A and B are shown apart, each in its own frame.
Chain A
Amino acid sequence: DGGITQSPKYLFRKEGQNVTLSCEQNLNHDAMYWYRQDPGQGLRLIYYSQIVNDFQKGDIAEGYSVSREKKESFPLTVTSAQKNPTAFYLCASSMSFRASGIQYFGAGTRLSVL
């Protein structure tokens, strides 16, 4: 079955620690995205990537970093510079930026601070 796999489902971060959220897709999509969801605020774009080895900052990139070394993988690192990381993180992909833009989402990772 094609789809997007996010892991882990739950993640706990200690003070000063970097943590990495995994996102893998087998849809052969060019574009991938990371969103943060807080209660009552909808989805906010952290980073997006149109193609391998390229990525762009979204609206709230500070305290986060990404890489796109393979087409199917787009991991997100929440660094110690992100002072309020507790949120629900969603990864998505779409065929390309120039197609209709329909996004397919993973099941999400819930990050909490210990």
Chain B
Amino acid sequence: AQKITQTQPGMFVQEKEAVTLDCTYDTSDPSYGLFWYKQPSSGEMIFLIYQGSYDQQNATEGRYSLNFQKARKSANLVISASQLGDSAMYFCAMREAASGGSYIPTFGRGTSLIVHP
């Protein structure tokens, strides 16, 4: 079973509108972390936002916010006021504990976002 599921292979949004990218996760570790990364066509992965499993409030970073619904195991990324430069692949990722005290990162398959002018 996939640990990170991104069900939207592609999304389109009009410039200046808000868009939500979906992410669900599966873990039995009570202390996990959730991340969103952006990958432009250049290939480099850029960290956007982080949510810890014990954080009470949804994380926000500028135009990015993470809609964290713990009971539903959902961590959707909301981008407000979309810009043309937001066109990219977006990956949801999770950090959970592995054996030996290490933490293993797992990535979803990504969602391609295209922003139309």
Residues of A within 8 A of B (CB): 33, 35, 40-45, 48, 50, 56, 58, 88, 90, 92, 97-98, 100-108, 110
Interface size class of B (residues with CB under 8 A): 20 to 34
Would A97 and B42 be within 8 Å (CB), given that A42-B108, A43-B91 are in contact? no
Q: Is the interface of B mostly helix, strand, loop or mixed?
A: strand
- The residues in B between 89 and 117 inclusive whose CB is less than 8 angstroms from any CB of A are 91, 93, 95, 100-110
Q: Are B50 and A103 in contact (CB under 8 A)?
A: no
Q: Write out the residue numbers on chain A whose beta carbons fall within 8 Å of the beta carbon of B93.
A: 43
- The residues in B between 6 and 38 inclusive whose CB is less than 8 angstroms from any CB of A are 33, 35, 37
Chosen A-B contacts, 24 in total, with CB atoms closer than 8 Å, are A35-B107, A40-B109, A42-B91, A42-B107, A42-B108, A43-B45, A43-B91, A43-B107, A48-B102, A48-B104, A50-B102, A56-B100, A90-B45, A101-B33, A101-B35, A101-B95, A102-B35, A102-B47, A103-B37, A103-B105, A104-B47, A105-B46, A106-B44, A107-B43
